[in-house]
């Protein structure tokens, strides 16, 4: 289906109308169904990007379409002066999945969820915060201060201060940085934007012990890893002895709608006072109805099992190719990084797109896969069949990446 526009048209028009804050070129897409997407010229792609881990159920999932349609037809936005059923029900459902008592603050994005965590941190009365090198927490000023990628921070300094960045996965460095002045430590269970970096076993548990000893909050940024992406409801649940004080969520939670959440437990849940934080669309019934549909479908269709199974099939299939461009595959569930033997990821991304597969290159060496959680055998098989040709294409032309 092409509608009335073409790739060339949409490309020319976006260049004249949208700010160029993301790179070029950008593929113009017009329709999606499940794991399939179509561009404006009618070309079909299999989606292994999933809106950067957003489309938990793929595109146009009937449960999300139905929930959103019913909700917008009965009660859309109500403002935070009032309350509606969907945000209450979604908060209850999330707390059930965490298996703990707590409180939820709804917002519209991952960056905003982390702003909420940042403010909760400041409300402890301490200012110092510890985050990780290479970590990504969003682009708003507070979230950017926590982000450990100096290139992204540089043009925007001064950022909110008193943040120490420590090497990711290094419990000793963390212990050395955390003091009794530290408000919070923020960690991603897996660093997604930094190329799907998995910390050593025991790291999160050590972080829990270090923060507990210092009276600091442990904030886990599960914006990318949460809501089933790693084969657990939340990635930290794969680790024993890790109970965070705050978890931030977004992306997959809304199944394609803008929805973020700051979930706080224990004393962290009591710190925000009326009037200290808020956003107009936070807890929007339509986005929350989508969130409920996502959680119900993941539970009802056994998708956590599917994530583990398809993740393993992808990992084994890719490593089993024995291709000279592939070092190894890392990650968990359906958040996987194909670590290449050189800086070939941008070219693999382009070759994959030319072959009808959308993948992503968060770093020059890593190709990231974040397909829908309900991915079927057929889509995985199609990717595994096509991958050798895609890699050969990248390998064979004598160029060595961007
Ligand atoms: N935290 C993590 C771990 C992320 O991966 C991202 C987005 N890539 C964010 C925060 C920011 O989310 P958003 O783009 O919705 O603001």
Asked whether 131 and 194 are in contact (CB, 8 A), the reply is: no
Q: Are residues 275 and 336 in the same domain?
A: no
The atom of ligand 1 lying closest to the CA of 258 is 15
Q: pLDDT band for position 396 (50/70/90)?
A: low
Query: Which parts are annotated binding residues?
Result: 110-111, 136, 139, 221-224, 279-280
Q: Is residue 2 in some structural domain?
A: no
Find the 3 Cα to ligand 1 centroid distance in Å.
32
Instruction: Answer with the one of 300, 320, 335 that is the final residue of a domain.
Output: 300
Q: Is residue 39 in some structural domain?
A: yes
pLDDT for the residue numbered 10: 92
Q: Are residues 49 and 162 in the same domain?
A: no
Q: Are residues 270 and 312 in the same domain?
A: no
CATH of the domain at 122: 3.40.640.10
Instruction: Answer with the one of 258, 282, 300 that is the final residue of a domain.
Output: 300
Q: Is residue 164 in some structural domain?
A: yes
Q: Are residues 232 and 294 in the same domain?
A: yes
Q: Are residues 240 and 329 in the same domain?
A: no
The atom of ligand 1 lying closest to the CA of 250 is 15
The atom of ligand 1 lying closest to the CA of 192 is 5
Mean pLDDT calculated for residue range 192-196: 98
**Of 362, 324, 358, 327, whose CA–CA distance to 346 is shortest?**
362
Give the residue, by CA position, lying nearest to ligand 1 atom 5: 224
Tens of pLDDT, residue by residue over 259-303, are: 999 999 999 999 999 999 999 999 999 999 999 999 999 999 999
CB neighbour list of residue 290: distance below 8 Å, 6 or more residues apart: 64, 67, 68, 254, 255, 256, 257, 259
Q: Are residues 270 and 201 in the same domain?
A: yes
CB neighbour list of residue 203: distance below 8 Å, 6 or more residues apart: 169, 171
Q: Are residues 141 and 214 in the same domain?
A: yes
pLDDT for the residue numbered 3: 54
Q: Is residue 1 in some structural domain?
A: no
pTM: 0.97
Where on the phi/psi map is residue 195: left (φ > 0), alpha (ψ -120 to 50), or beta?
Answer: left
CATH of the domain at 371: 3.90.1150.10
Interface confidence, given as ipTM, is 0.99
Q: Is residue 401 in some structural domain?
A: no
Residue-number span of the structural domain to which 372 is assigned: 7-60+302-396
Q: Are residues 133 and 39 in the same domain?
A: no
* Residue carrying the six token digits 């442990």: 218
pLDDT at residue 256 is higher than 80:
yes
Residue 111 Cβ inside 6 Å of ligand 1? The answer reads yes
Mean pLDDT calculated for residue range 122-145: 98
Q: Is residue 320 in some structural domain?
A: yes
Query: Which parts are annotated binding residues for pyridoxal 5'-phosphate?
Result: 110-111, 136, 221-224, 280
Q: Which long-range contacts (CB under 8 A, 24 or more apart) does 270-273 make?
A: 270/103, 271/120, 271/123, 271/124, 272/105, 272/116, 272/119, 272/120, 272/123, 273/123
Find the 297 Cα to ligand 1 centroid distance in Å.
23
* Residue carrying the six token digits 């012990």: 209
Mean pLDDT calculated for residue range 373-377: 97
Asked whether 10 and 28 are in contact (CB, 8 A), the reply is: yes
Q: Are residues 229 and 333 in the same domain?
A: no
Find the 214 Cα to ligand 1 centroid distance in Å.
27
Nearest-5° Cα angle at 379, 378 to 383 = 115
Would you name the residues annotated as active-site residues? 136, 221, 251
Total tally of structural domains belonging to the chain: 2
Instruction: Answer with the one of 300, 321, 338 that is the final residue of a domain.
Output: 300
CB burial readout 176-213, b (16+ within 10 A) else e = ebbeeebbbbbbbbbbbbbbbbbbeeebbebbbbbbee
Q: Are residues 290 and 307 in the same domain?
A: no
Find the 249 Cα to ligand 1 centroid distance in Å.
9
Q: Are residues 205 and 135 in the same domain?
A: yes
Of residues 343 and 20, more confidently modeled: 343
Distances 185 to 138, 181, 286 between C-alpha atoms, Å = 16, 11, 32
147, 168, 251: residue to mutate for ligand 1 pocket, most atoms within 8 A of CB:
251
Crossing angle, helix 345-354 and helix 377-396, to 10 degrees? 120
154: tokens are: 């540089």
Tens of pLDDT, residue by residue over 307-355, are: 999 999 999 999 999 999 999 999 999 999 999 999 999 999 999 999 9
Q: Are residues 207 and 287 in the same domain?
A: yes
């Amino acid at each position: 289906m092409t509608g009335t526009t073409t790739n060339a048209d949409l490309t020319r028009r976006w260049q004249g109308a949208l700010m160029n804050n993301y790179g070029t070129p950008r593929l113009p897409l017009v329709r999606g169904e499940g794991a399939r997407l179509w561009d404006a010229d009618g070309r079909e792609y299999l989606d292994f990007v999933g809106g950067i881990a957003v489309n938990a159920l793929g595109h146009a999932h009937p449960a999300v379409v139905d929930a959103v349609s019913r909700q917008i037809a009965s009660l859309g936005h109500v403002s935070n002066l009032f309350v509606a059923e969907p945000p209450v029900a979604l908060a209850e459902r999330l707390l059930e999945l965490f298996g703990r008592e707590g409180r939820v603050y709804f917002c519209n994005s991952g960056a905003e969820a982390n702003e909420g965590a940042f403010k909760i941190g400041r409300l402890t009365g301490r200012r110092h915060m510890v985050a990780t090198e290479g970590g990504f927490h969003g682009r708003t000023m507070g979230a950017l201060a926590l982000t450990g990628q100096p290139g992204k921070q540089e043009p925007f300094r001064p950022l909110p201060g008193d943040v120490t960045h420590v090497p990711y996965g290094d419990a000793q460095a963390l212990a050395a940085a955390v003091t009794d002045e530290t408000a919070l430590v923020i960690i991603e269970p897996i660093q997604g934007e930094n190329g799907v970096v998995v910390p050593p076993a025991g790291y999160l548990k050590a972080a829990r012990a270090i923060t507990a000893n210092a009276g600091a909050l442990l904030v886990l940024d599960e914006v990318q890893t949460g809501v089933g992406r790693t084969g657990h409801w939340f990635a930290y649940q794969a680790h024993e002895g890790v109970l965070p004080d705050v978890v931030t969520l977004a992306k997959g939670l809304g199944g394609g709608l803008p929805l973020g959440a700051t979930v706080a437990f224990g004393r962290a849940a009591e710190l925000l006072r009326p009037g200290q934080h808020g956003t107009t669309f936070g807890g929007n019934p339509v986005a929350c109805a989508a969130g409920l549909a996502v959680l119900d479908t993941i539970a009802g269709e056994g998708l956590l099992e599917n994530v583990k199974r398809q993740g393993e099939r992808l990992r084994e299939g890719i490593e089993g190719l024995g291709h000279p461009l592939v070092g190894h595959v890392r990650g968990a569930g359906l958040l996987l990084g194909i670590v290449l033997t050189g800086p070939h990821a941008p070219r693999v991304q382009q070759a994959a797109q030319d072959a009808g597969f959308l993948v992503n290159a968060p770093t020059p060496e890593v190709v990231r896969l974040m397909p829908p959680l309900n991915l079927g055998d057929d889509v995985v098989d199609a990717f595994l069949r096509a991958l050798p040709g895609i890699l050969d294409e990248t390998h064979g032309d004598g160029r060595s990446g961007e």
